[in-house]
Structure 1
Amino acid sequence: MAPTDSQVEWQTERIIHYLFEDEADVQSRVFNDEYVHDGPGDPDDSFDPVVIADKLRSIADAMNDDRRFQAALADLKQAAAQAAIEAAFSHGVEAVCEAHVAQGAEVAPEMQLIRASVAFGLYVKKSSPELKSKVQNAMAAFLNRRVGKWITQQGGWEKVPDVAK
């Protein structure tokens, strides 16, 4: 059964939670059933936020050398001070995404947004750890608003190309 919009929103929040874990937690993490069964949905589904977060982390690592991250990070820091972080996060992701569109024209625009938001979010976490919780919230809101319906149409996060197991 395809997930509902609210289930995809919950899945997105869980994925981002594990995506933003500290490196020590990622290295020492042991699979636990609560990762899969602690929210809405069918407990027999194949959704595993830990696996999806790890896959997204590896995709994002490939984008970290882009100079646009520096400019977008400066904008995000300024916006955080002004409590406009969600808009700054969206702007930063769109700037990074536009730069990579020509490099991956065969990739769905929604997947480009996911890749850019994950890369940007993890870059901010690494460069400005004080913004971690604000960026997590902004990233969840951004992904749910911009690609949530598309993820639902794919059948949930576990069915998204390049993210699924």
Structure 2
Amino acid sequence: MAPNAEIVEWQTGEIIKCLLMDDDEVQSRKGLLDAGLECDGPTDSQDDSFDPVLIADKLRSVADSLNDNANFRAALSDLKKAAAQEATEAAFSSGVETLCQAHVSRGADVAPEMQLIRASVAFGLYVKKWSPELKNKVQSAMTAFLTRRVGTWVTQQGGWDKVNVKET
């Protein structure tokens, strides 16, 4: 059964939470999932194949190729200034848009939605690594951005566990 927008929004939040977790938190969460314990969230339509840790790991691997992009430093600087002014979501969106326009993230064979996902994940992981004090604000901004910009597309694909996340 395909998830609705509410389920995809919850899935997005869980994926971003896992994506930005510290390594020890990820290992702990993997242990809980391996033990068969379920995470809090919608259960009436939740697909058993949804694993936010696994999806976050896949997204992390596709975003790695953007880490050396010079646009990151400028976008991170803008994000730090915006965070001080409580405008994190707008700065995050602007940074992702800038990265998507960069030559590195362009590819005729990559769906625009995947470009947004890839740039968002790369940007979020870069911020986590180089400005850990912004992690909570970025987690919220990433979740809102991805829900708003690709949530409908993810729902049409059948949920995050059906999105074909691959390196391009």
TM-score normalised to the size of structure 2?
Answer: 0.90
Q: CA RMSD in A?
A: 1.7
Other structure's SS at 2:66 match: coil
Matched, 1:136 2:165: no
Cα distance in structure 2, aligned partners of 1:23 and 1:71: 27
- Larger mean CA deviation between 139-148 and 95-104 belongs to 95-104
After TM superposition, the structure 1 = structure 2 runs for residues 74-153 of structure 1, keeping only pairs within 5 Å, are: 74-100=77-103, 103-153=106-156
User: 1:93, 1:116 within 8 Å by CA — same for their partners in 2?
Assistant: yes
Q: 1:104 to 1:39 in 2, by over 3 A?
A: same
Q: Percent identity?
A: 67
CA deviation after TM superposition for structure 1 residue 59, in Å: 1.1
**1:5 aligned partner, one-letter code:** A
**1:40 aligned partner, one-letter code:** P
* Corresponding pairs, count: 162
Aligned to 1:30: 31
Cα distance in structure 1, aligned partners of 2:9 and 2:142: 12
Unmatched tracts of structure 1, length 5 or more: none
Unmatched tracts of structure 2, length 5 or more: none
Matched, 1:15 2:15: yes
Other structure's SS at 2:67 match: coil
CA deviation after TM superposition for structure 1 residue 101, in Å: 6.6
CA deviation after TM superposition for structure 1 residue 63, in Å: 1.0
